[in-house]
Every structure is written in structure tokens, then in C-alpha cells.
Amino acid sequence: MKVRLLEGEMQLLKALEKLNGEAYDERLVSETGWPSDKVTTMALNMSERGIVKVSVEEEVWIWLTDEGLRYARMGLPERRILEQAMAKGGVEISKLERVEDWEKPIGLAWLRRKGWGVIRGGRVEAAGEFPKGADEKLIELIASKGKVRLTELPEELRKTVKTLRSRRLVETGKVTRRLISLTELGWGVLRGDVEVLEEVSRLTRDLIVSGRWRSVVLKKYDVSLPSYRIPIGRLHFWRDILNHIRRVWVEMGFKEMEGPILETCFWDYDALYVPQDHPARDLQDTFYVKTPGRGRLPSPEFVDKIRQTHEDGWTTGSIGWGYKWDVEEAKRTLLRTHTTAVSVRTLAALKEAELPAKFFSVGRVFRNEKPDRTHLCEFYQTEGIVVDENANMKHLVGYLKEFFKRLGFPEARFRPAYFPYTEPSLEVEVYHPPTGRWIELGGAGIFRPEVVKPLLGRDIPVLAWGLGPERMVMLNYGLKDIRELVMNDLEMLRRAPVWMG
């Protein structure tokens, strides 16, 4: 016969042996110094293997209420009334001493009920001398012990408990205790008659190093129990998407370009052939900057080409916007309204020898809007340009289809659109399989000669397209309110499924 024993169980068996093979759980707690739930769990575990027997006992305990304690000290109110009536041969109720007003109705009622006396015209007459009743004896007994078990009471007093409880002089409560006793098997284990297999829950370094792991049994776990939560660190789910977009650009051979958030009107608007009275340049739409208020412009020769292009088209073949261009307006600073400002700076710095060239940017842009469910005043844009002598609309459409396919949209279609700096201009709609809808996702076009020639010296085709990644995040995570993106709710950040693009 073999028996599995877990760590510590032998210790509990030995404690039981010392207590002659039988003890209540509280005794074992004091014997072992373990928490009581550990003792109980261990005993119940061993009882399943027949090593010990656990019998549950419920005991009723009795103790006095505050009122009961008072009567234990002073005597029942009917006893106090009887004594005074005896001593004085009847007594006026109003003259009673050591009896509180609230005790009077109680005392008088019980006096009459016990037949100790009569009440007539406000006087109490005693009916004789009476010895202590069972109720008084019980109160004395409980008071002397503080708390007694029902089973400890003499037979004749047990019935009285009910009376006292109805007078709310005592309270009773049930307490469960377990009597743990060694079985034959248990005695056998202690005697060494039964072979013991040691079972352990935790595989320790000591077990491994000592080789004891060979002789112990590793306890089987409930592998389906719920796990605890790990405090993790991870990237923002929005970063996943931005990184994915970056990767797509790089895969397609685009080099990342960078530009400042704090920008001049010159680079954000004028160099893009956006006329100075264009509505987008209103205070209503653009965040202008008070400090620092005015920026420096590039070389006067270059600025002059921009001026002429706006005024009469310069040598671009255009008639221009036909207004007087204001250099001071171009010096104003703003928070860039689009990443196209970055593209323009890149074009201005591009050398002929670097052609053909492809660039992309991912960055924050700003619009003077009050944030609501569909607008943020600060959001991301990504944009790419292709500078290539032979670039054309077929290429643009080709790049766009490939780009959006890699972003996770199998189909893209195009509509004519308008941007002041591209011609032709396109609106890109992509097919979103989960919803089965076509969604407007980006803009595209070929930069106008009025933009390109002042920047590059001649009119080289520059394809450009871009999109707002927030739209993709919202589609992917089913967000209804764009502001959720900047809330940084840690529960959402910790739990959001990873982007599978």
C-alpha cells in the first residue's frame, strides 16, 4: 500500500499523534502555528485519501446581552420590586428605588406573571417569599463564565434559554469546528507501516539540484484556472499603424523626409501656389503663431520666383493668380497645416543628380478646429512624392493601387478632386472588406508647374499622394469618436488587439 503525502502533511500528522490522534482544528492551529485555513484545507485533502477523518461539529454558544448583563449585576427588575414590597409591606410604584422607569413595566408584568404579587391602585403587594428561579440561576451561571456552550448547561436549565432569549437577555450563535482524528491508515503512516510518496506543489531549485525530484510526486494543477493580469509594456496601437505605413513606404523604395512643425506661411502655402487670399489661410482654419511671430525667408532670388509665379505665372506658362503678392504675409509663422510643406522643402533642396527620387513623410499637422467626434485640431498625415522625368497619371494610378493594397485595401478607385497645388487632382476611395463599403481615404495628384518650376528650376513631374492615418485606425478598431485616439485610456492601450496589417 502506498500513500501520497504533500509537503507539510507529515508535520500535521505528527501534531495529531502528539495529541493522541484526535484534536479540534483550533488546537492544531496553535500546535502548528499555521493559519487555520491551511490546517483545514490540508486536513480535508488528507481525509480524501483516508489518512485522517474530519467530523464537523456545530456548537451553540450562549452569552448575555447588555440588558442581561445589567440584571446579572442588579437582579431581575421583578426581584428588586418584590424585595422592596416585602420589606415595606407593600410599596407605591412611584416610590420604588433602584428601578429605572423603563424597567418598571417589565418588572411589574413579570411579578404578576410569576404570581409574586399583586398591583392595586398604584401599590405593589408581595404574595410571599420566593426562591431564585431557573432564569435567575441561568443568568448567574452565564455571567460567571462569560460565554457557555449549550451542551455544558445542566439539563434543567436548558429549557430556560428560550425564555431568556424571548426576554432578549441572552443571544445564541452557532460555531463550526472540526474534529480531526487519525484513521488506521494515518496511524500506519506514522508507524512507518505504509509507504509514503512525497507530493510537492512547487518544483524548487533544491528539488532539482538534490535529485529529490525523482522521488517526489509533482502535484497536478487545474490548468484551466483563470490567470492573473500581467502589467505589460507595449507600443500604442496607433504606433503599430504608423509603423506599418512607414514600412510600406520603405518597401516601395521611398526615403523618409523630415520638416518642422513650426513653419512659415512661405513653405506651408506660398511655395505651394496657394494664393494669399485662399480661405484655407484664414484665421478660422490655420493656427498662426504669435511667438515667434515672423520667420526668415530663403534667398531673395528664390522668393522672387514665388512672387512672380503668384502674380503673373513667371515663366511657368501660367497666367498666375493675378494679384499683388505680399512678402510679409509669407513670413508669418504657423503650425504646419499639411505634410506637403515637408515635400516642398525636400523638392527645394533636391539636386538634379538625385533624380529619379521618391520620398515620404509621416508627421503631425494642425488645423484650427474645435475637437469633436470627427475632428482633431492636431492629427497625423502621411505623404509621398515621386520626382521622375517620366512620371505620369498611369504611374500615379499604379503607385496608388499598390500603396493602398499594401496598406490593407485590396481595391482603390479614383475621382477628380481639387487641390490648389496639384493638377490633375484625385480623390482616392478604397474598398474596406469588413464593412463592404468604399471609403474616402486619401488625396493625390501631380504638382502644378507653378509649384515645381520655382522649386526645381524646370517642370519635372512630381507625383504626390497622402492620407490621414487616423481614418485607418478608426476603421480598424471600430472607433466612433476620433478623440478616443488621444485619450490614452490605459485599459484600451493594454488590451487593444495588435494591428495585423
Closest separation in Å from C-beta 245 to another protein: 11
- For residue 406, how many other CB atoms are within 10 A of its CB? 16
What is the CA angle 431-434-437, rounded to 5?
Answer: 40
CB of 393 to another protein, least distance (A): 5
Q: Supply the minimum distance, in Å, between the C-beta of residue 253 and another protein.
A: 4
- Site map (CB under 8 A) of another protein, residues 418-437, x = contact: x----xxxx-----------
Residues between 261 and 300 that touch another protein (CB under 8 A): 261-264, 277, 279, 283, 287-298
Strand partners, 181: 22, 53
Q: Toward another protein, which CB reaches closer, 96 or 441? A: 441
Q: Least distance in Å: CB of 190 to another protein?
A: 45
Asked whether the beta carbons of 333 and 366 are under 8 A apart, the reply is no
Do residues 362 and 245 make contact, with C-beta atoms less than 8 angstroms apart?
Answer: yes
Q: How far is the CB of 158 from another protein (least distance, A)?
A: 54
- Can residue 410 be called a binding residue for another protein (CB under 8 A)? no
In the bound complex, what is the minimum distance in angstroms from residue 320's beta carbon to another protein? Answer: 7
- Of 99 and 335, which CB lies nearer to another protein in the complex structure? 335
Closest CA to 412 of 432, 436, 391: 432
Q: Is 373 in the site for another protein (CB under 8 A)?
A: no
Nearest distance from C-beta of residue 225 to another protein, angstroms = 20
Out of 110, 269, 399, 499, name the contact with another protein by CB under 8 A.
Answer: 399
Task: Identify residues 206-265 at the interface with another protein (CB under 8 A).
Answer: 229, 231-236, 238-239, 243, 246, 249-264
Residue 115 or 293 having the CB closest to another protein: 293
- Which residue, 317 or 410, has its beta carbon nearer to another protein? 317
For residue 284, what are the contacts with CB-CB under 8 A and spacing of at least 6? 368
**Residues contacting another protein: total by CB under 8 A:** 102
Which C-beta is closer to another protein: that of 218 or that of 261?
Answer: 261
Where is 335: in which H helix or E strand?
strand 333-335
Beta strands 357-366; 255-256: pairing state: parallel
- CA–CA distance from 72 to each of 236, 401, 444 (Å)? 72, 96, 97
Angstrom CA distances, 391 to 27, 88, 352, 465, stand at 92, 128, 15, 13
238 vs 409, beta carbon nearer another protein:
238
- Grid coordinates representing 197 are 510518496
Provide, rounded to whole angstroms, the least separation between the CB of residue 242 and another protein.
9
Using CA atoms, how far apart are residues 74 and 67, in angstroms rounded to an integer? 11
- Of 338, 367, 248, 264, nearest in space to 306 by CA: 264
Q: Which is nearer to another protein, 116 or 314 (CB)?
A: 314
SS3 466: strand
Nearer to another protein among residue 212 and residue 294 (C-beta): 294
> How many other CB atoms are found less than 10 A from the CB of residue 71?
25
What type of residue is 389? E
Residues numbered 149-168 forming contacts with another protein, rule: CB under 8 A: none
Whole-number Å distance between alpha carbons of 232 and 35: 33
**Residue 196 · residue 216 · CB < 8 Å:** no
Q: Identify which of residues 134 and 496 has a Cβ nearer to another protein in the complex.
A: 496
Nearer to another protein, 59 or 251 (CB): 251
Within positions 300 to 339, which residues make up the interface with another protein, using CB under 8 A?
313, 316-323, 333, 335
Residue 472 Cβ, how far from another protein at the closest point, in Å?
Answer: 15
Q: Which of residues 464-493 bind another protein (CB under 8 A)?
A: 485-491, 493
Q: Does 364 bind another protein (CB under 8 A)?
A: yes
DSSP-derived secondary structure letter, 422: E
Q: Would you state the torsion angle of the CA atoms of residues 165, 171, 173, 179, taken in this order, to the nearest 10 degrees? A: -90
Beta bridge partners of 1: none
